[in-house]
Structure formats: structure tokens, C-alpha cells
Structure 1
Amino acid sequence: MLKQSLLSLALATGLSTAAHAESVNILMEGVPDTEYVKTLLPEFTKETGIEVNLEVVNYAEMHTKLVPQLLASKGSYSAIVVDFYWVGEFTKAGWLAPLDDMIKADNFDTSVYVPKMMDLVGQVDGVTYMLPFYNYAMGLLYRTDLLEDEANKAAYLEATGMELAPPKTWGEYLEQVKFFTKDGMHGVVNQGLRPDPIAMEWSNYLFANGGEFHDADWNATLNTPAGVAALEQYKTNVNEYGPLGSASFSFDEAFNVMAQGQAYSYITYNFFRTAIDDPSQSTVAGKVEIMPVPGQEPGVGASLNGAWGWAIPKSSPNPEAAWTFLKWVESKKIAKERAMQGGSPTRIDVFDDADLNAKFDYMGAMKDMLLTSHNFPVFTYTPQLVEVLGRELSLAVADEATPADALAAVEAEMNELAKKDGKQK
């Protein structure tokens, strides 16, 4: 009887503990980096006893799901991931909890992150609200086999007086796009769909011409010689050197053109570097490499940065457990394990890891891409700016507005948004 009573007590205690086991609920986007995190969750639960429940949805649903929870006094999400598009909105609304006290208490080293990552999805006005999760900076995918072909080398030297090699400057790249548009091959494929794909891709053209979105006082600087040249070049690449219909391509359609061997180059998100080597979806596996988008001078990068960050909302029902998860998932060990599966690092020490570089020989290029990248304007109205920019760029590509008029329209609306947000004095 005594043994039976003790057994009943033990079972009851175990069931009670299980029923009250702490859990962390996180809303995440359905992307490869989320899957890499998911594979490691049993390890976290084993170490901490904390269960992690991931609610995975597509990007279009995320903002709609997040806002009501962020507005609540006590929401259902312990932690969230934040796209750089939303950083200005979420921090100005006061929805994210500052992490500095927890970082200091646990001596969590944030200096290991690529500085541009902390600028984009880490700190705002000197306060740390996020830990960078993964990056989706844009780079230049190009066909190495075409560059190494002896006939191409001879023809290119005769046509341009230059050696055929990975482009060191933006001018060299444009020459290569023109040269490789022949015999059914396109020099480039673009993602011209409005608003997001074209806005993000064209930003690389702006930076490559030495332009920026605004000055130190947030006055828009798009209708400039650099901005106009960037839009004229983009329009030419889409209409003269790219496949028919690319003005309405999203990144999936553009990637398919590149993966089927129909284009020499494609400026796109860095996670496509892994995908282009997958024989199940690419006919040019082993024949494509990635590099930072080249700028006006050798060594000057022009890639657009992009990233997501981990955050703890002020409405989190259990911020302490959420922080336990964040510092674990962003530890060197776990960040490396995610990267070894194909994830996009944000930590310099992970980029420099010998095992990772042995597995992926393009990690050095990925690191350089981030170190020399440029950030899109981050403020409360970033999504609205993307809409305006995409609209006007598309009009220019379709010959419904001149490049100068299109950029003047973007400038006017961007300045109004910056004033509304208190960025302009």
C-alpha cells in the first residue's frame, strides 16, 4: 500500500510538473533559417526544461498577427522576430523591451555581430532592442564558367580591351552584362515586380553609382546624377539585356531564369547562393559564385543589407524565459550549428569559423558583402517608402515617367514621410 501511495504521489507530481512546464511561444516566418532553428529546439529543452512552440506563417500574415499581440497588455508571444522594415514602427510605438539590462547581467557579448547588423536590427538610438537573427543582404550571382571560357576571354578582350574576370567595379559589371547578352543568353535577370522586389534590387544600383537615400538630416537625395544614372541603368538592363517579362518578375521567377542557365548574372538575396548549387532546382550547380555588388572603385561594396532580429515584446507573458532562449539561440555554438545547415550568419566569429569555411567556401564573400553593405532607410514609414519607390521605379521602367520625374516624386513623398516621423527638423 505504501509503495502504491508513493507511486501515485510521484505520478501526480510528475503530471503537475509537466502541466506547468514553462514554454516560450514565438511567431516566425516560414523560411529556411526558421527550419534550422527548429532542428535544434530539443537541445534547448533538454538544457533548460523550457519548451519552445513555434508558430510559423508566411510573411504576408506576420505583421497582421503581430500587431494585436503587441498592443495587448499581455500577449501570447514570448519572443518575436522582426524584419528591418518594421524596426522603426515597433520601436517608436514602444512595443519592444530594451535588452541592455539582460545583456549586461549575463555578459552577453554583442560586439561579435557585424556592425551593420546591429545598426539595422540591433540598436535604435543607442538602445538594444534586438539580437540579429539572420541576414538577407543582396549580392551579385555570376556564372564562373562563362568567365573562364577561353573564347569568351578573347572576345571580351577584343571588344572592351579588358580582361574577363569577376567585376571589380560597377562599370566593369555593366560591360559584362552587355557582352553576355547574345546567342539566346541574357546578361542579367532582374526582379522588377513592384513594390518590394524592384525597390530592394534597384537600391543596389543606387549604391553602386555612389548614391544614398538621404543625407545626415534625412533630406531625400534620390533625384541626383547618381540616382538618375542608377534608374537609367536598371531600365536598360530590364528592357535590353534581360528576359522578356522581367519587369514583373519576383525573386522566384528571376532565380529560375538564372538556375536554368539563361542569364549571366542576377543581383539577389544571398540565401540563393546555396540554392543555386542544388541540382534538384539548378542546371548550373557548381558554375555560379556570389560576390558583393561592386561599387565605383575596387573594394567599394554596394550591396543592400537586409536582416531579421530577435526581440522580446513588452507584452511578453514570460520575458525571462524568452531571454533564456534568445541568449541560447544566439550563442556562438548554436549560431554556428545553424550556419552549418545553410543559415545566414550575423556574427563575425561564425563567419570566421574554420569548419564553416571548409564547408562553404563562399563565406568570405558573404562576410565582405555585409561589411561593405548599405542600409535601407529605417524609420516608422519604411513600408510606405517601399510602396512609393516601387511604384515610381516601375513607371520609369515602363516608360510612363522619366527617371528624373520618377525620382523627384519619390523624393517629395519621402521628405513628407520623414517630416511626419520627426526625422527632418
Structure 2
Amino acid sequence: MLFRTASALAVMTACTAVPAFAQSSMPGMDMPSQSPWQWHVHGSLSLIADGQSGPRGGDKTFFAGMIMAMANRDFGNNRLELQAMLSPDPFMGRAGYPLLLQTGETADGTTHLVDRQHPHDLIMGLSARLTHRFEDGSSVFGSVGYPGETPFGPTAFMHRASGEDFPTAPISHHWLDSGHITMGVVTGGFSKGPVTLEVAQFTGREPDQNRFDLDPVRLDSTAVRLWWQVTPDLKAQASWARQVSPEQLEPDVNLRKQSLSVEYGHGPVNATIAWACKQAEHGTEKPADAWLAEARWHVTDKWSALGRYERVYNDELAATPYWVAKTEIGGYRTFAIDDMTSVNLGLIRQFNTVPDALKPAYGRHPDGTVAFVTLKFHRMKM
């Protein structure tokens, strides 16, 4: 299989390095000072060689990932949190990368992306959150983001422990967590014990094909999400949203969406099971469902296994909607550089299941092979 080499990557991030409380140092940390600020920078940057088979497939080698900077400080019973996140994705080109059975957004403002994953915006997040803690342990909070994350669905795939090491996006992305880049979102919430309730007003239109700018703020849509920390290792969420005009190519279509998920993490194992459903607000089409089950297992301190299964009812792959499925199996070897820097070298095999009606378009056994090298790093001051 031949892979075409993509053009150069340029990534830039800026964050004011603000010292923090702690009086002891950790590897990779600067000496402490008396500033009330804490900060943390996290990065995950991957070089990916992607090969997708069949008539709708293709090959591409590209960079993807993100750099996230966070700062927070306490004053009295209040905490202020600031976050900025950048991505090299726009440098892979507007058409993104080949990914069989993936749909969502557009590369040129004229046609839908089909069998390709769109690049994420250069500016993935700029947000601020203020939390007030009460004496009884409960708290209220408010946040603004431009871009920010809509409180809908499970933790976004690049942030949840079970999904962060996969080199490509899930095909359920636009059902479950595409709101992780929302061009304007205002959220308020309340926490008490194991329960957190979030309510948001957000911009329903998803990012356009111009990945280097910020799109207009509309705040025309609504989302509600309830989190329940069932045990220290298990959390669940239920969420609902009314999303106004999410697709610029179908501006008159509004969506109603629901989601349920559970996320588990204990020792070397992390897993997520999620479901979501979306339906046109005034349409007569059958609701479109998506299911996801994924896991990461650190077999040893050097070797890790990855597995993901998805099944979606998609009406964008062809003129008629169909159930399709994707299974991904693979793993990676971790090479530690220091306590806060590592490189993962891995391989994923993807197996796609399509109905007989789509086999002339996809081939009898459409599959994919994805090799990747990922640099991960953390820097913090506490």
C-alpha cells in the first residue's frame, strides 16, 4: 500500500506560564513560587499514515493532534479556570483524510464530506469557567467559550481515556461529540455530591470549511446534560439538545438529539459505551442512531491494546440510509523519554461492514490500515 506524504506541519501555542501553590517539585516542573496560579500544558501530536481500500478509499500521510494549555487559581471559595487549545489539523488540507464510512461537514462549502474525516479548526478552544463552592460541598459554575464545548454526549474522543490514543476519529463523531468545537457557548451548572447538571445556550451551526478563523456567534441552540459519578471508577451521562441549522449545506434543517453513555476507568483499563440519536425536527425520516464501544488496555508499561466497534444508521453515504459498522483493532508500543514525555508507535486495522447494496461502491471487504507515531508531553506548575 502506498502512502502519499503530506506537506509541512506548523503548530504554535501561547500560554502565560503562571506558577502555583505547591512547595515541592516534580520531574518536568519548574521550581515553585508564591503565585496563586497553577498551570498545565498537554500535547499530543501524531504523524499518521492512513490507507483505506476499495473504490471509495485513498491514502494519505498527515499530522494531527492538539496542544492544550490550562491555568487556574483559587480565591476564597471561588476558582477561575482558563483554557486554550490549538490543533495542526488545518495544515493537512481542507479535505481532511480518508476514513471509510465517515461523514460530516464540508471541505469546500458546496458538497458534503463523505468517506473522509474533516480537519478540526486551528483554534479548538478558548474558554473561561468560574466556580463557587458552598460550605455543604455543593457548587455552582458558569463558563463561556469561543470556541467552547457543548455539554452533550460523552467526553469528546480526543480527551476521554478510552479514545485518546486512536489515530483516527470515530465514525459516530457527529452523533456523539462534534460539539467539542462550538463557535460560541454559554454554560451554567450545579454540582452536589456525585451529580452535576449542565445547561447551555450555544451556536448550532458547526464549523465551516475555513479552519483558520472563528465563525459567527449565534447562541440559537440549547443543550442539557446530567453527569452521575456512580463510583470512583464509573461515570454516566444523559444529555439532550436542540441544534439549530447545524449544516451550512442544509440550513433549514434543525436537529433534536439524545445521548446516553458510561465511561469506566480502573488501573490499566479504560472503556466507554455510548449511544446517540439525532432526528430532523420537522422531518419524517427515521431517527438516526449511533452506537460506540471502545477500550484501551495498558497490557504492560510499554505495550497497550486498542479496540473500538461502532454501528451507525447513516443517510449521507448514499441516497438511501443504511446501517454500517466499523471495527478497529490494534495497539502501540510506548517509548518513555522522561516522566512527562513519551512516544507511541502503533498500528490499527479497520474492518468495515456495509450492506449488499453498498458493496459495488465500497468493494466486498473494505478495510483500512493506519500506522502512527505520537508524541505526548505534559508540563505543569503547582
Same fold at TM > 0.5:
no
Answer 1 or 2: which has greater strand percent: 2
Question: When the two structures are superposed, what TM-score results if normalisation uses the length of structure 1?
Answer: 0.23
Answer 1 or 2: which has greater helix percent: 1
Largest Rg, 1 or 2: 1
Greater RCO (Cα-Cα under 8 Å, separation 6 or more): 1
